[in-house]
Structure 1
Amino acid sequence: MKELPKTYEPRDVEDRLYKFWVDNGYFHAERDPDKKPFTIVMPPPNVTGQLHMGHAMEAAMQDVLIRFKRMQGYSALWIPGVDHAGIATQIRVEEELRKEGKTRYDLGREKFLERVWAWKHQYGDRIVEQQKRLGASCDWDRARFTMDEGCSKAVREVFVNLYEQGLIYKGSRIINWCPHCVTALSDSEVEYVDKPGHLWHVRYPLADGSGEVIIATTRPETMLGDSGVCVNPNDERYKDIVGKNVILPLVGKEIPVVADDYAEMDFGTGCVKMTPAHDPNDFEVGQRHNLEVIRVLDDKGVVNENGGKYQGLDRYEARKQIVADLEAQGYLVKVEPYNHNVGTCYRCHRDVEPIISAQWFVKMKPLAEEALRVVNDGETKFVPERFTKIYTNWMENVRDWCISRQLWWGHQIPAWYCADCGHMTVSREDATCCEKCGSKHITRDEDVLDTWFSSALWPFETLGWPDTNAEDFQYFYPTDVLVTGYDIIFFWVARMIFSACKQTGRPPFHTVLIHGLVRDDKGRKMSKSLGNGIDPLEMIDRYGSDALRMNMLTSNSPGNDMRFYIERCEAMRNFANKLWNASRYVMMNLSIDKNELPALSELETSDKWILSKLNTLIADVTENLDKYELGVAVQKIYDFIWDSYCDWYIELTKARLYGEDEAQKRSAQQVLLYVLDQILRLMHPFMPFITEEIWQAIPHEGEALIVAAWPKFREDLCFQAEEDGMESIMQAIRAVRNRRAEMNVPPARRTTLYIVTEKQDLFSAGIPFITRLAYAERVVVLAEEPEGHGSMVSCVTHDAKLFLPMEELVDVDKELARIAKEKEKVQKGLAGVQAKLGNPGFAAKAPEQVVRAEQEKAEKYAALLRQLEESEARLKDL
């Protein structure tokens, strides 16, 4: 044994212990044929990122699972890594260049990428070091980066493989385009925001002069690219104009009227303008009716050469000018306010433009079929199960995935274009000539792949795939559990499932454990704009890593958002101190140097009670963790440590520890130490630092708690009768304590306690405990009520009636006088608050929070007055 300091200081422990774990290789998972594998891949945070509360909660959850399985004897592998974050990283480096008065084009692609790699090497591991502060027991020897050589090889293999099977293609289609980031986005990267706007009703004259149609639009700037007007073929109002032309206002050219079911007769005027280059639905209608595709905005959202006199105007400036011209020329019929969903970029939050563009796509329907099957058949399960429906709905309605991005940082698309014959070569190796004509006049596609394309391969590319014979891949794949937030089910989870099913023939994990968001104490999402973010590293500095982890884990319920209260960190630090002080107490009273239980015949009732409760706790917590009920599991351990072990069992053993019977003293020490060892093991996945520090100080076998065996349920430690009996005694003690507290009787005032019960043997055996813990001078166990019980204070439990002589508890007259004085004081305070609240001037002028504070004060005065009156009534009845 080593002596523990008087107080627990996390900063003196955490760095030292983490280094101890790393130096001894406890995080490293070996391929062991005698062990079952258990694998988790960390959702790779962005290389640009800093640890936030969401990261901290997610990492804590994963660490609990991996430490639990490691202690259970699995070869537990937690693969860490970082994502190259294409858009975010490129923006970060371009911002640095702007400060130097440069752009990436000034450097050129090669030099710019060198600059990005230099930035990555300087700042990219920051979040990794922050994860270590939290206690993350990842296998850092296997840390990966989505742009490292192995991942790059896997990305190239998947791209070429899908291309060869016709599942990747290049084509001109309507995509989501961010004019600020100047790149394409997938459907999942567009966030829809309800925004106020307008509905402009515009007159389109028929070319033959026979009339006009009215078109309503929210984006008048796109009318520069109109190539038709659409009506429903069943709409009687417009059947005579189908096939005619209308004159496009401001532009002056004639465009046809077509009939298509896309137009809704009961929406607006029933006439819809067709802009095939700037709307996905218009594009589809245009394809069916051979409408011209005219793009009028460039990559930065500026009107291009097809916009006539509006060329060079930003899209919103062009909108203002076009509306003004429509009104001036008599085409504008009316303007209505109109709220509608506007697509915004998930990165910069600027408005996205639907634009026709030549991009690379993945055909999703064929891939979605197997990804749906493995979830519907239960091969992969969502926890909570309700998220299965969200996943299924998205997969059933999935559209082709735009995977090309107009960036330089990322996995460059492995396609080369021949300048001589026009052929496109797609290759696993860098092409040096055209595969069709042999020409060396080839250039590589400048686009890179969507970041999610590479991270979709994460569960298997990190284990050595595409080398399917790689030992790690053979042993650790498929992985077991993915821990992630509900906000990236579409971004990442779905893509990992269909990618793994297609490339490996197996789903990447059997369970997806979904967590919610960490919100502030008011329930708001943490954000820079609100300024309500809380730095987890600051919490660790103030309260310790264990306290922060416990705050999040005890508040955690799968799939649900949680509110973060700083006060709970303080409460959990107090719990850590409670565990620390209890451990110090046990160690100061130990004269044994080996952790083993006494013979069962030597156990007393209190020993059997705590061991039986511990046995049940072990079974429950193990089951909870197997079901991913992390919050439920840790709350049970917390309650057991605080209540059963510290507040009760330690107190119950004091008489034996300080007594003269050496055999009883030794058995008490043995049980105290055994239970302490077991609760340290149970709590270790949740509070790894303090539990390891204490465990290293107490008598133990083995090198470290992190690799000690997980506790197991033992049939021989089931003592239900003794447990029930002890609970009866404790219930009686609680009842007496509560009654005394109601009457403000100090612990030092000891009284006679009469216990009337049918279980006389049980309560007689418990007299030593009852005498000490119920503050009794003497305890008398009876079959019938004692003489004069009518004038005694009483309380009742399931198994007993308890009586305390009133004259031994309190001086009634003195106590009534005290209560009367206290009532007068409270009544005076209540009257003052009520007068203030009843003043119309105060209610009208005072701030709302001040009025509310006074109302709460009045409620507290009233509650206290009721308590005093109840106490007074009880005393008068005696």
Structure 2
Amino acid sequence: MEPRIKETAWNPELELRILKQWEETRLYDFVPFEKNFVIDTPPPYPSGRPWHIGAAAHYSQIDMIARTARMSGNNVYFPIGIDRNGLPVELYTEKKHGIRMQETERSKFLELCRSSLDDLEAEMIQIMKSLGLSGNFSNYYRTDSEEYRILTQSTFIELWKKGIVYKATRPNNYDWVSGTTIADAEIVYQDIQTKLVYMKFKIKNSDKEIIIASTRPELLCACQTVIVNPEDSRYSEFIGKEIIVPVINREVKIRAHHSAQMEFGSGAVMVCSYGDQNDVALFREMKLPEIVAIGMNGLMTESAGKYAGLKVKQARTQIIEDLQNAGLVEKIEEISHRTPISERSKIPIEIIPMEEYYVKQIDSIDKIRGIGKKITFYPEMHKQILMNWLDSISIDWPISRRRFYGTEIPIWYCKNCSEPHVPEPGKYYMPWKDSAPFEKCVKCGSKEFVGEFRTFDTWMDSSVSPLFISKFNKDAEFFRKTYPATLRPQAKDIVRTWLYYTILRCEQLTGKAPWSEAWIMGYGLDEKGMKMSKSKGNVVDPLPVIQKFGADTFRFWSASEINHGYDFRCNEQKIETTKKFLSKLWNVSRFISSYDVIPNGKPTESDKWILSELDKLIVECRKGYAEYNFFVPAIAIREFTWNLFAAHYIEMVKARAYGEGFTEDEKNAAIYTLHKVLSTILLLLAPITPFITDYMWQELYSKETIHKQALPKSEGIEDMTKFTAELSDFNSRVWNEKKSKGLSLKDVISIEIPESLRIFAKDLIPMHKIE
């Protein structure tokens, strides 16, 4: 018989035809039921860099979650969004147009940002569609849309009314390159080579001196005290005495404090405003007068004296030189120093006192910890990232930013008395250009107002994604059916930001956790194990790879290469190698398509054996799918299809399927089993490789898409897997013996079938041409 599948090989161009069919039939449109499986899909950020291959692997697996849930009988809501707020697009726009945000008219700069995002977004949507993501692209959302920003502002207004938002002047992490405050969660730490300078501080009215080691001698002008450990006998005689700060020549007192580490440097520590968070805490505790040494422009202030106007590094170099010339340096060591870096601009942050708005979070830590314990994490080990972050939080969340492209803080101030006024929710407000929606000040009666110019931290937008997709405060019935969501899938590097802030904000607004499950993925690395970045030149653009090998090849590589939760290496050669399995599956399917589907049959012992192995495969795959770990079914299906079904069973039953020397019932049993196994493989594989499985399913088994079918369930048939190893060994032994004798596989051979395998003899004899 002629194969029903005519093409001799799987052609990735067929994916476009299948994709069009899905779109035309609106296969993935969502209508809410009483109970739904809701995915709080991460809206990717079109940042100006290619969406690298690791991110594409991440999203392909999120789609596997959606497809698995559908085939498990769930009504799946898989919204697609694009995150378009924040610093990256501003930096991209500045670079693209050769401008600076602060020197450009605000409306014009915002328009340039939108235009940049539109181009980048189109490419991102193309990649997502090419990957076969089963979301509803006809209705995807943008975080910079008026609708989304209305929600962000409305939730802020609600928190304001609850007293959860307040304004305060405090030392803040400051990114002077981007010109804005950043939260602790936006800081990463890097070990950077730096100089540890051992400086000589003279004791007042004495010829004695003590040595103080510091990596930041440029902050000598902000030094207000020196601390030593009360148990450090080297300095006990100096506690309470005055000491002279070198070069600056200001007198400060030596104090005892337990935070001074006797083993670091010389054991004596200068306390400066604002060297680090420990300095900030000590200044508050000791009520020391603060000196601002570094300005918002990243330059030394007038407080630095002759070093004023220098960049921090320049000032450091100059003051070290001056200290050396004055004979005030004992030694300089090169050390690796753990330095706080802005996650966005990649430069060391400074701590500067600034007036900002804060959302209370300290009071909620225990509550968030309790919610976190109830959320099921996949894998469980990544729950600890959240718990560690909760243990480290020491201040409330600064939410105001001095940037342009973000959701505006909806506040107007009375021009006369500065009283803040917050409008009613439900509209999108731009206070920097809109007239105040108030007739007069509630405090002094003045009718003149000044609008707030700042925007929100981008996580204020991102953290309400589960509320936006469930139509919070917009459609009560839809919200009731879709909130809380079922699952939050995301990468591990934003557990302390996106995941944490979402729990915090949603609990503050709804009193509930935003979802019951969290699926956390590791990093996509280059083939050498390095994190991908544009500056390193190791970013791999996924679109050419997908176009070259096909989405299913890429997706199967993703599933079979990535052990869920762990970092993984991206290698185009491995992706190409993965194509061999799809070719094998295609050849197997094409061979079986030569036979008409038989609805039932009476299996022989050989059939019972492979069906027993198939049942075992179903159990293993369902376990992996239940844990959203696609590595498990991908590996299991490949091993079963290639090394058992194709290599042994098909070879065993070919003669029977052809009807050579067998009864009609025996022939039909072989054909029934071939189709039973293949159709099951296709169903099990459908969440991972949706294109090739849907094509073959519709060619062979049904005109209805495979993606409306259910995942197979174990039938609990008789376990005959105990024969597998012996069968495989026997077949291999026969093949090897023929090879050693120079015989072809079609040549006759005289060999004894083991007693334990005699039940398969009727198939083994014609398979091997055994005399």
TM over 0.5: yes
- For 1:381, which of 367, 376, 384 is the aligned residue? 376
Contact between 2:30 and 2:77, CA under 8 Å: does it hold in 1? yes
Letter in 2 for 1:635: I
Which residue of structure 2 aligns with residue 540 of structure 1? 546
* Higher Rg of the two aligned structures: 1
CA change 1:279–1:675 in 2 (3 A) is closer
**Partner Cα distance (1:666, 1:576) in 2:** 27
Contact between 2:423 and 2:437, CA under 8 Å: does it hold in 1? no
Deviation at 1:428, TM superposition (A): 4.5
Contact between 1:750 and 1:775, CA under 8 Å: does it hold in 2? yes
Contact between 2:173 and 2:351, CA under 8 Å: does it hold in 1? yes
Q: Tell me whether 1:710 sits opposite 2:711 in the alignment.
A: yes
Which residue of structure 1 aligns with residue 78 of structure 2? 78
Q: Tell me whether 1:647 sits opposite 2:647 in the alignment.
A: yes
CA change 1:234–1:435 in 2 (3 A) is farther
SS of aligned partner of 2:309: coil
Q: Tell me whether 1:360 sits opposite 2:357 in the alignment.
A: yes
Which residue of structure 2 aligns with residue 555 of structure 1? 561
Structure 1 residues 25-58: Cα deviation after superposition (integer angstroms, max 9, x where no partner) = 111221124xx41121221211225321221221
CA change 1:213–1:683 in 2 (3 A) is same
Structure 1 residues 632-652: Cα deviation after superposition (integer angstroms, max 9, x where no partner) = 112112222223332333333
Contact between 1:97 and 1:104, CA under 8 Å: does it hold in 2? no
Letter in 1 for 2:697: W
Which residue of structure 1 aligns with residue 685 of structure 2? 683
**Partner Cα distance (1:472, 1:613) in 2:** 44
Which residue of structure 2 aligns with residue 836 of structure 1? none
- For 2:410, which of 414, 427, 439 is the aligned residue? 414
Summarize the alignment of residues 152-171 of structure 1 with structure 2, pairs less than 5 Å apart.
152-171=149-168
Summarize the alignment of residues 856-875 of structure 1 with structure 2, pairs less than 5 Å apart.
none
Contact between 1:67 and 1:137, CA under 8 Å: does it hold in 2? yes
Which residue of structure 2 aligns with residue 30 of structure 1? 31
| Range with greater deviation from structure 2 (216-225 or 469-478) | 469-478
Deviation at 1:528, TM superposition (A): 3.1
Deviation at 1:409, TM superposition (A): 0.8
**Partner Cα distance (1:266, 1:712) in 2:** 63
Could you tell me the TM-score, scaled by structure 1's length? 0.81
Contact between 1:248 and 1:255, CA under 8 Å: does it hold in 2? yes
Q: Tell me whether 1:398 sits opposite 2:396 in the alignment.
A: no
**Partner Cα distance (1:620, 1:193) in 2:** 42
**Partner Cα distance (1:408, 1:706) in 2:** 44
**Partner Cα distance (1:317, 1:438) in 2:** 51
SS of aligned partner of 1:124: helix
**Partner Cα distance (1:176, 1:437) in 2:** 35
Structure 1 residues 495-550: Cα deviation after superposition (integer angstroms, max 9, x where no partner) = 22222222222222222222222223333333334433333222222211111111
Contact between 2:131 and 2:551, CA under 8 Å: does it hold in 1? yes
Q: Tell me whether 1:16 sits opposite 2:1 in the alignment.
A: no
Letter in 2 for 1:104: M
Which residue of structure 1 aligns with residue 55 of structure 2? 55
Letter in 2 for 1:704: T
**Partner Cα distance (2:206, 2:63) in 1:** 74
Summarize the alignment of residues 323-334 of structure 1 with structure 2, pairs less than 5 Å apart.
323-334=320-331
Which residue of structure 1 aligns with residue 432 of structure 2? none
Structure 1 residues 590-636: Cα deviation after superposition (integer angstroms, max 9, x where no partner) = 3x5xx6223xxx33223333333323322331122112231111211
**Partner Cα distance (2:67, 2:573) in 1:** 27
| Range with greater deviation from structure 2 (539-548 or 205-214) | 205-214
Summarize the alignment of residues 316-327 of structure 1 with structure 2, pairs less than 5 Å apart.
316-327=313-324
Q: Tell me whether 1:596 sits opposite 2:599 in the alignment.
A: yes
**Partner Cα distance (2:182, 2:740) in 1:** 66
**Partner Cα distance (2:311, 2:552) in 1:** 53
- For 1:578, which of 572, 577, 584 is the aligned residue? 584
CA change 1:352–1:21 in 2 (3 A) is same
Contact between 2:653 and 2:767, CA under 8 Å: does it hold in 1? no
| RCO comparison, higher one (Cα < 8 Å, 6+) | 2
Contact between 2:201 and 2:210, CA under 8 Å: does it hold in 1? yes
**Partner Cα distance (1:201, 1:611) in 2:** 76
SS of aligned partner of 2:467: helix
Deviation at 1:146, TM superposition (A): 1.8
SS of aligned partner of 1:337: strand
SS of aligned partner of 1:354: strand
SS of aligned partner of 2:538: coil
Letter in 1 for 2:54: G
Structure 1 residues 255-299: Cα deviation after superposition (integer angstroms, max 9, x where no partner) = 444444433455444432222234322222222333221112122
Which residue of structure 2 aligns with residue 789 of structure 1? none
Summarize the alignment of residues 375-524 of structure 1 with structure 2, pairs less than 5 Å apart.
375-376=372-373, 379-400=374-395, 401-429=397-425, 430=429, 431-433=436-438, 434-467=441-474, 469-524=475-530
Which residue of structure 1 aligns with residue 97 of structure 2? 97
**Partner Cα distance (1:647, 1:269) in 2:** 71
SS of aligned partner of 1:482: strand
Summarize the alignment of residues 756-775 of structure 1 with structure 2, pairs less than 5 Å apart.
757=755, 763=758, 766-775=760-769
Which residue of structure 1 aligns with residue 64 of structure 2? 64
**Partner Cα distance (2:528, 2:481) in 1:** 46
Gaps of 5+ in 1: 779-878
**Partner Cα distance (2:546, 2:211) in 1:** 63
Which residue of structure 2 aligns with residue 347 of structure 1? 344
**Partner Cα distance (1:288, 1:610) in 2:** 73
Structure 1 residues 89-142: Cα deviation after superposition (integer angstroms, max 9, x where no partner) = 1111112332xxx43344322222122222223332321211111111112244
| Range with greater deviation from structure 2 (502-511 or 328-337) | 328-337
Deviation at 1:237, TM superposition (A): 5.6
Could you tell me the TM-score, scaled by structure 2's length? 0.91
**Partner Cα distance (1:130, 1:756) in 2:** 55
CA change 1:479–1:576 in 2 (3 A) is same
Which residue of structure 2 aligns with residue 632 of structure 1? 632
Which residue of structure 2 aligns with residue 130 of structure 1? 127
Deviation at 1:208, TM superposition (A): 4.5
SS of aligned partner of 1:361: strand
CA change 1:271–1:751 in 2 (3 A) is closer
Name the count of aligned residue pairs: 755
Structure 1 residues 315-355: Cα deviation after superposition (integer angstroms, max 9, x where no partner) = 11112222222233343343233321122222232222222
Contact between 2:503 and 2:513, CA under 8 Å: does it hold in 1? yes
Deviation at 1:236, TM superposition (A): 5.9
**Partner Cα distance (1:427, 1:415) in 2:** 7
| Range with greater deviation from structure 2 (421-430 or 704-713) | 421-430
Gaps of 5+ in 2: 430-435
Contact between 2:50 and 2:539, CA under 8 Å: does it hold in 1? no
SS of aligned partner of 1:10: coil
Contact between 1:276 and 1:284, CA under 8 Å: does it hold in 2? no
Letter in 1 for 2:750: T
Deviation at 1:741, TM superposition (A): 3.9
CA RMSD after TM alignment = 2.7
Which residue of structure 2 aligns with residue 608 of structure 1? 608
CA change 1:328–1:659 in 2 (3 A) is closer
Structure 1 residues 185-217: Cα deviation after superposition (integer angstroms, max 9, x where no partner) = 222222211122212222334454575443322
Deviation at 1:64, TM superposition (A): 1.3
**Partner Cα distance (2:456, 2:682) in 1:** 47
SS of aligned partner of 1:766: helix
Deviation at 1:560, TM superposition (A): 1.4
**Partner Cα distance (2:684, 2:372) in 1:** 32
Summarize the alignment of residues 688-699 of structure 1 with structure 2, pairs less than 5 Å apart.
688-699=690-701
Q: Tell me whether 1:184 sits opposite 2:181 in the alignment.
A: yes
**Partner Cα distance (1:14, 1:440) in 2:** 63
CA change 1:749–1:416 in 2 (3 A) is same
**Partner Cα distance (2:387, 2:87) in 1:** 28
Deviation at 1:481, TM superposition (A): 2.3
SS of aligned partner of 1:340: strand
**Partner Cα distance (1:428, 1:152) in 2:** 14
Deviation at 1:220, TM superposition (A): 1.2
